[in-house]
Structure 1
Amino acid sequence: MSRNLHVDYRSSVSYVGTVLKYLSLTLLFPTAVAVYYRESPVPFLVALVVAVAVGLALERLEPEPMLGHREAFLLVSLTWLVVPLVGTIPYLVAGQGTVAHPVDALFESMSGFTTTGATVLGEISVERHSRSMLLWRQLTQWLGGMGILVLMVAILSELSVGGTQLIREEAPGIEVEKLTPRIRDTARALWAIYAGFTVLAVAVYYGLHLVGLAPNMTFYNAVAHALTTLPTGGFSPEARSVEAFTPAVQWAVMLFMIVAGTNFALYWYAVRGQPDRLQRNPEFRTYLFAMGVVGVLLSGLLFLGVGLAETPAIDPLPGDLEHSLRQGLFQAIAIVTTTGYASMDFNTWDPSTKVILLFAMFLGGSAGSAAGSVKIVRWYVIQASMHREMFKIVHPQAVRPVRMGKAGDVVDEDTIHSIFVFVGLFLTLFVVSTVLLFLDAHRTGLSLSALEATSATIATLGNVGPGFGLVGPMESYYPFSNAAKLYMVFLMWIGRLEILSVLVIFTPAYWRS
């Protein structure tokens, strides 16, 4: 069978084994935490042994793998399926709480690695789930944030040949920006920036604790929240999410969520002496504008008192400018960047504010960031394309390319076509999945409103995390049936890889010559 005509699946699977073997080393971190807190390290050691064993076995399928165009698609899709499967082992071996069930463990693991932040944990506490287990949940998000294969390209020289396509399929945007002459060095640069901001977040969070502005932001909490802020995961070891912390912490978290939702390539240019590229970048300006508009709308409604459907279990917001502004901006930033943290239970907000938040779930952060959903750059190009079409109706002979900004780079027609296909497919999947979840709830007798089904769909497909009602920020996805949870695992999987990279392997044309 010619490698040029057919998919060499053995090479793809062999590389999955290599990835699994190296990624198993990350299990040493929760193992060390378990030993430090005198908890059982067995769940992580078992997972480590299994990961190494499976990795070595898969590598033997093809001792000299070759990575072509088609093999890259399969490698990316399989990696993001196999790694979360292995990630379930600590939950299953520990056997604590709701994640002791295989379906729930897979849901939690997939949610972690895809940085969705949705959870089936019935009770989030160190008493119910050990510190090491909750930190493992945080670490899975951090590993998935910048990209598992981006990390592997940075580490493994054998993946550098096809590294550009791997990064493009794992973290697609308009284009993979080559920051350095070699893609391996580019991957290292991106991960260095990502890790650097994570360390900075730990320092800021814990620094607030040391100066007395955040009494319960211990070093453990600082690390745990930094590990989920930068990957836009948003899962907190605190049952009440970021509501458990002081306003100073919430403002700091806002800053790092904005950082996480920005194209990391812009930080590279800033470090290299071109900070003006941030302010000149049309996507970045649109990204800030979108969060600002959503945040101001929410803050205004909360300040006037019309944004609350019921009195929250904290100080009232109406008439309190700082409080209203903080809550409105926080939730706007958390949802647009798909981080999914909550500074209060927005289930207590009225339908008008929930509609605004639902709209924000479709925006997403910047391309080249850790954020999910559709992403701002695609909406920017769609808006520019629509504006061009209206102009051409009036001036049919005019030649007017779509540009990123008034004098920016021209977006080629193939890219515009791909963006429209992606958004059309995303919205189609959203509608179909909402109906399926609603019908499954009716089948099982689960009381699920249309708004709850809608938010659960976009929250998993867009890797946002929380929704409304049953899946609100202080609630859990646990009540759904196993079939529904497995379907949402599928949505998180294809959502993280932006749909096409996964669905292409299910087409007959992919496997035929």
Structure 2
Amino acid sequence: MLSYTGTIVKILSASMAVPLVVGLIYGEDALAFAVSMTIAVALGAGMERLHDDPDLGPRDALAVVSLAWFAAAVVGAIPYVIAGHGTASALGHPVNALFESMSGFTTTGATATAEISFERHSHAVLMWRQLTQWLGGMGIIVLMVAILPQLAVNGAELMKSEAPGPGLQKLTPRIAETARALWLIYMGFTAALVAILFLLGLTGLAPEMDLYNAIAHGFSTLPTGGFSPQAESIAAFSPIAQWVFVPFMVIAGVNFALFWFLLRDEPRRMFDNTEFRVYLGLVTGFAAVLAIGLFYGGAPATEIGGITQGITENALRQGIFQVASLMNSTGFATADFAQWDTQTRFFLLFVMFVGGSAGSTGGGIKVIRWLIVAKALYRELYTTANPEVVRPVRLGGEVVDEDVIRGIMAFTLLYFLLFALAAVFIEIDTSRAAGVTLSGTEAFAASLATIGNIGPGLGPLGPFGSYELLPDTSKILMIGLMWIGRLEIVPVLALFVAGFDDR
């Protein structure tokens, strides 16, 4: 298992060449990334020498996936520590660095630094934050299976362990080809968004959107990440730019396998998909409710990018953007919704629970799980009233296997249990820390934002705030929540179950 992890770490270290080049261009922190890359390669090579049995069983695959994701976060933290050493940057602290790295790779988007600016952080460091999200979005293991022949042997088992919920589809005869197809679609959407954003900047429709910002936000939109090199997130750009992000955030929450069918002239496979239709319906419905609420609640006119917007357009844009961002765990913001009224904030918390589609880059519980849970509960009520009736759970006209239903029920129970226990711990832990006060609702939101890989919470942890003020103990817990949440709980918890060597 360690040799597989070492191979993944060694190859992943090559991605540091991107911020290294950025550092050379801007004359900032290039040495930090050169040193970090050297350390990462050495660590990976050392682990790689620990030869394992190439034939991985299901439990071994769970361990490889869990260890690989944690190792990626540890290696990703090295540049933050080196670049931040001896400076005022909060990321120089090892716990903050690991928090930022885990948040990046798990596409959470929660930050452990209170000040995001080019005065405090280099262009290279901020680009690395963005790139970690892009690498984690479609899945580190999916990427490695696509490019490493030695992993393709166990590719199906590894990919299933990385996304253990329903929805994994083998699109081609070979699993490595499926992994490459998914990554090519993902890269295509990323390139399209970068090109559109850059054109907006060139034409003056989004004056702040230069090439750096276009690439940086392309790296964090499709993976539903939420990091931005701008302190005001997407609010730093014009309303036109904000509208451009919306369809791409919605796309990121769709099962990417459906785009494969669309490209192969099989559009019915997409539009006949029950989860896809429900997902679009929920996005539309939630956005309408929020926009109407903001309109009648007096959403203020805003001036962004020199363009004054009226109340109606502002309410519509804020409602659609926030729902598209939070429902599938992107975490971008065009307004500080942590300051909105209580009813609106609770509505946004409800939206955060939904999640994107299975097979998407979105976090959360996922739409398909909610569908099956609802159908299973309805069946239970129906058969209680009609005990002589045998009623299978169907989705899209097909019977859902009972093992799948039990797995979904177990996952949902574990999700709520871990989330609730973590919320209690965070509230108690922060109450003892000097200068930190979180209400029950804010601790609740913080736990949900990390285990659901959403990012922003409420109060001081809102979209324009940060997690820097929290005690290290709470940050360490949240690092674990992000890790567990990204791998959908089971692979990580399986590490603590004895008997991995039993065959």
If the TM-score is normalised by the length of the shorter chain, which range does it land in?
over 0.9
| Equivalent position SS for 2:294 | helix
Of 445, 454, 460 in structure 1, the residue corresponding to residue 444 of structure 2 is 454
Q: Which amino acid aligns with 2:348?
A: L
Q: Residue 385 of structure 1 corresponds to which residue in structure 2?
A: 376
Is 1:75 aligned with 2:49? no
Instruction: Give the letter aligned to residue 404 of structure 2.
Output: T
Unaligned runs of 5+ in 1: 1-11
**Which AA in structure 2 matches 1:181?**
P
In the alignment, residue 424 of structure 1 is paired with which amino acid? L
In the superposition, relative to structure 1, how do residues 312 and 105 fare at CA in structure 2: closer, same or farther (>3 Å)? farther
Shift of 1:212: 2.3
Q: 1:319 to 1:195 in 2, by over 3 A?
A: closer
After TM superposition, the structure 1 = structure 2 runs for residues 151-162 of structure 1, keeping only pairs within 5 Å, are 151-162=143-154
Choose which of 335, 349, 369 in structure 2 pairs with 1:344: 335
User: 1:411-470 CA deviation, whole Å, 9 max, x = no partner?
Assistant: 100000000000000000111000000110122242110111000000000000001001
Query: In the alignment, residue 135 of structure 2 is paired with which amino acid?
Result: L
Return the alpha-carbon distance in structure 1 between the equivalents of residues 291 and 110 of structure 2. 25
Q: Deviations over 1:178-224 (max 9, x none)?
A: 10001010000000100111001101111222222111111111000
- Distance in 2 between the 1:133 and 1:318 partners? 34
Match of 1:45 among 25, 28, 34: 34
Please tell me whether the aligned partners of residues 373 and 462 of structure 1 are also in contact (alpha carbons under 8 angstroms).
yes
Correspondence for 1:19 = 8
- Residue 467 of structure 1 corresponds to 457
Matched, 1:478 2:468: yes
| Counterparts of 2:28 and 2:350, CA distance in 1 | 43
The residue aligned with 2:495 is 505
The answer on 1:234 being equivalent to 2:223 is no
Q: Deviations over 1:340-395 (max 9, x none)?
A: 00011112210000011001111100000101110111001111112222222333
Amino acid at match of 2:487: L
TM-score by length of 2: 0.96
Give the CA deviation at 1:312.
8.6
Q: Cα–Cα, structure 1 residues 205 and 317, in superposed 2: closer, same or farther, change >3 Å?
A: closer
Question: Counterpart of 1:415 in structure 2: which amino acid?
Answer: V
Shift of 1:29: 0.8
**Superposition deviation, residue 511 in structure 1:** 5.2
AA partner of residue 284 (structure 1): F
Give the alignment of 1:111-510 within 5 angstroms: 111-305=103-297, 320-405=311-396, 408-445=397-434, 446-510=436-500
CA contact (8 A) 1:302 1:317 kept: no
Q: Which amino acid aligns with 1:323?
A: N
Tell me if structure 2 keeps the 8 A contact 1:283–1:376.
yes
Report the 3-state secondary structure (helix = DSSP H, G, I; strand = E; otherwise coil) of the residue aligned with 1:506: coil
Separation of aligned partners in 1, 2:208 and 2:303: 18
Q: 2: CA distance between counterparts of 1:373 and 1:252?
A: 24
- 1:307-330 CA distance string (max 9 Å, x none): x6xx79758999722110110111
Q: Distance in 1 between matches of 2:196 and 2:28?
A: 28
Alpha-carbon distance change, 302 to 175 in structure 1, aligned in 2, over 3 angstroms: closer
Per the normalisation by structure 1, the TM-score is: 0.94
Task: Give the corresponding residue for 2:99.
Answer: 107
For 1:63 and 1:401, the matched residues in 2 are separated by 43
Distance in 2 (CA, whole Å) between partners of 1:312 and 1:274 is 44
CA contact (8 A) 1:164 1:176 kept: no
Is the contact between residue 294 and residue 332 of structure 1 (CA under 8 Å) also seen in structure 2? yes
- Size of the aligned set, in residue pairs, is 497
Q: Write the distance in 2 (CA, Å) between the matches of 1:416 and 1:136.
A: 39
Question: What is the CA–CA distance in structure 2 between the aligned matches of 1:61 and 1:257, rounded to whole Å?
Answer: 41
| Contact kept? 1:243, 1:344, Cα under 8 Å | yes
Once the two structures are superposed, residues 19-75 of structure 1 have per-residue CA deviations (whole angstroms, 9 ceiling, x without a partner) of 111111111111111111122311111111111111111111117643222211110
Query: CA 1:276/1:494 → structure 2, altered by over 3 Å: closer, same or farther?
Result: same
Query: Using the alignment, how far apart are the partners of 2:18 and 2:9 within structure 1?
Result: 16
Asked whether the 8 Å contact 1:257–1:334 carries over to 2, the reply is yes
Residue 28 of structure 1: aligned partner: 17
Q: Which amino acid aligns with 1:153?
A: V
Residue 400 of structure 1, CA deviation: 2.1
Whether contact under 8 Å (2:262, 2:270) holds in the other structure is yes
1:417 counterpart letter in structure 2: R
1:265-314: CA deviations, max 9, x gaps? 000000011112222111011111111222111111110126x6xx7975
What is the alpha-carbon distance in structure 1 between the residues aligned to residue 157 and residue 357 of structure 2? 19
Query: Is residue 460–residue 491 contact of structure 1 (8 Å, CA) maintained in 2?
Result: yes
Once residues 511 and 295 of structure 1 are traced to their aligned partners in structure 2, the CA distance between those partners, rounded to angstroms, is 49
Aligned Cα RMSD in Å?
A: 1.7
Aligned partner letter, 1:380: L
Aligned to 1:9: none
Q: Kindly provide the amino acid, as one letter, of the partner of residue 449 in structure 1.
A: S
